[in-house]
Amino acid sequence: MSELIICEKPKVAEKVAKALSDSAVKNSYKRVPYYEIVQENGQKITVLSAVGHLFSLKAKNKKNKRFFDVEWVPLHETDKSKKYIKNYIDVIKKFSKDADRFIHACDYDTEGTLIGYNALKYICGEKSIENAFRMKFSALTKKDLLQAYDDAYPLKDDTSWADSGEARHILDFLFGVNISKAMTESVQHVTNRYVQLSAGRVQTPTLAILNEREKEIQQFVPEPYWMIKAKIEKGIVADHKKGKIFDKKEVDKILDNCKGKDAVVTKITTRKSKKALPVPFELGTLQSEAYAQFGFTPRKTQQIAQNLYVEGYTSYPRTSSQKLPDNLGLPGILKDLAKNPKYKDKIESLKEPLKPNEGKKTDEAHPAIHPTGTLPKDISADYQKIYDLITYRFISLFGQEAELESIKVELEIGEEPFTFSRQRISKEGWLALDPYQYKKVKNEEFPDITEGQTTKAKVKSEEKETKPPARYNQASIIRELEKRGLGTKSTRANIVSILYTRKYVEGNKITVNKLGESIIDTLEKYSERITSEQMTREFEEDLSEIKDKKITESEVIGNAKNELNGILDSIDDNQDNIGRELFGAYEQSRIVGECECGGNLIIISSPRGGKFVGCSKYPDCKNTYSLPAGANVLKTKCEKCGLPLISYGKPRQRACLDFECANGGQKSSNDVVGKCPDCGSDLIKRMGRFGEFIGCTGFPKCRFTSSIADFEKNNQNSE
């Protein structure tokens, strides 16, 4: 007997192999690692892996106007940067030939199920599914993996998750490719110019939500109002009970009533309250908390959490659950965590019975995010932050309720009512177990004050303006998508990231630029259904119902094609208007500055790949400026020549768009690397057409330059 185990990533394959046998032998074929185990009964087990998705969708016939017929093909055939994928496919093919039994050990979610299912179907052959079994695990500890291996169940008994995953990919392909193609062709039809534009089934409604907020902000008209405040003893500031006052005459009347009057304490109300225990992290709340605490983007948090899981330090992150079932061995996890001194005292302070507080949300596949008890070794500072965030939250779930005490003090100044309040922690409870949450709770000093007390008061008004709705940030838009039922816990962070990559949005406080705004405005005008979150939400529900076997994959795809035909028909009917409006916005989005000839400096894509900046009046003006790979053109201008600055490299540096600018791109004194041998001025690193070089700050009078390699070599020789 020969068994083949297919995992999702190489690191997981290593953990599975070592969990099954201490004598697992590591080999490689075509530079791809795999593991072999020979059991006492002579059975041979081969453990190997994919590297995420090995297959992608492709239109069967690209001559058709609409790409509705698709097929799965090896990923390296559609993405030339993924040539290494072929080796992984070849390894699975090689060892599948002699296998009698197959184990699908990819992540237990929709995407992981599809990855393994496609590997079996398209590499090992459809017959392999008849002899395939599914491992289900939420953590990569030896205990969890052995249990999952022993409990593996026949894959053919339930392929609904694979069907749902495939349907999602097909829907995203059909909508993304066809609508993007229709938009691009609209511009090409009107201008004879190729401008690549993109839309998506979830991407476009997400952009529409951001654009709606953008319009609310743009249309907002601020209204003046006044707050009346009284400063009394010990720096205490009390607010007038009316709060925001929009009538200046009323403000003047209140100030007049208070003039020269003392403050009298009329009532002190004390209240005690409980601070309930938190609930376990699921992916959305972990992303929000990491953004609030560390400023990490949701995508970064998701990547770190995924890698912590792969290393075996935490459980599977892409979960919606707020439950921690007893079979996880929670006391054992706490015992293992206590081996680290920074968790030890907190864990030893816990009181029996050790039962965690849980939330209401559940997940059919995985528990809430939690540490496994395996303590990390040699991880980066950012990884440690996420690990600590998860671990402190986990420990605090076993704590006691915290208690808060608050006072509300009411005062009168010339018969005008004022009030202030204070809050402090009276019993730390679980707050002592989670330093991140402790610092978020107000813990203020209570003033020594009594009812009937009179004190001097200084009353004044503060004029303010009403503010527009707050912009979304990356964490809050993901919460909004979850609330509206758009996307999945696994895809939302990537959807937001795509909007940045497409240059439709920018900034930490998300601003929709002119191109993003025009795409939504144009599509809403001529084909509103694609921007509608209602359609996207309906398909999300259909995809969930495939998993529940309430609807078939073919029914959902058929409905999607009908919906898409209507959208594409409306785009075709308004092709000229759509093309003109989108091209106008695209042209505006490319402008980065003004050329010395009076034309616009615009970003241009080179036919040979890459981008550069040129003048819109070409060929009359042939001014061009190179852009290093990955460079961004900034709104900040060079103080010397007035051209925009660029941001480039890792770590990010700034330089003038003109590599010959004497300013050297705003280099600081910290960037000085030596003295010029010709004129004695400072030498600095500068950006040229072909990368960085050493240049003299005395340019243009002194034109000394050197490659970085030659400069460093000469310095070593002189030493």
Which residue numbers are catalytic? 316
- Tokens (6 digits) for 555: 């029914």
| Long-range contacts of residues 495-498, Cβ cutoff 8 Å, at least 24 apart | 495/200, 495/202, 495/203, 495/206, 496/206, 496/298, 496/299, 497/297, 497/299, 498/200, 498/203
The amino acid sitting at 656 is C
End-to-end CA distance of the chain: 67
Pairing of strands 611-615, 600-605: antiparallel
- CB proximity list for 411: less than 8 A, separation 6 or greater: 230, 232, 238, 263, 264, 265, 266, 417, 418, 419, 420, 457
From CA 249, how far away is CA 255, in angstroms rounded? Answer: 10
650 phi and psi, to 5 degrees?
-130, 120
Q: Tokens 């003039």: give the residue.
A: 259
647 phi and psi, to 5 degrees?
-115, 130
Residue 696: C-alpha distances to residues 88, 118, 352, 479, 701 (Å) = 50, 58, 71, 51, 9
How large is the C-alpha radius of gyration of the chain? 32
Residue 47: C-alpha distances to residues 75, 210, 224, 307, 415 (Å) = 22, 45, 69, 20, 81
Of 649, 633, 642, 637, the residue nearest 692 (C-alpha):
649
645 phi and psi, to 5 degrees?
-85, 155
Residues linked to residue 653 through DSSP beta bridges, in sequence order: 648
- Tokens (6 digits) for 177: 């490719």
How many CA atoms does the CB half-sphere of 27 hold within 13 Å? 12
Alpha carbon dihedral 421, 427, 430, 431, in 10-degree steps, equals 40
- Tokens (6 digits) for 562: 């009908």
Of 496, 445, 96, 97, the residue nearest 287 (C-alpha):
496
Instruction: Give the angle subtended at the CA of 411 by the CAs of 409 and 415, to the nearest 5°.
Output: 155
In 351-446, which residue ranges form alpha helices assigned H by DSSP?
Answer: 381-396, 435-438
Residue 371, preceding peptide bond in cis (omega within 30° of 0) = no
- Which of helix, strand or coil describes residue 584? helix
Q: Contact, 366 vs 315, CB < 8 A?
A: yes
From CA 69, how far away is CA 558, in angstroms rounded? Answer: 11
496 phi and psi, to 5 degrees?
-65, -40
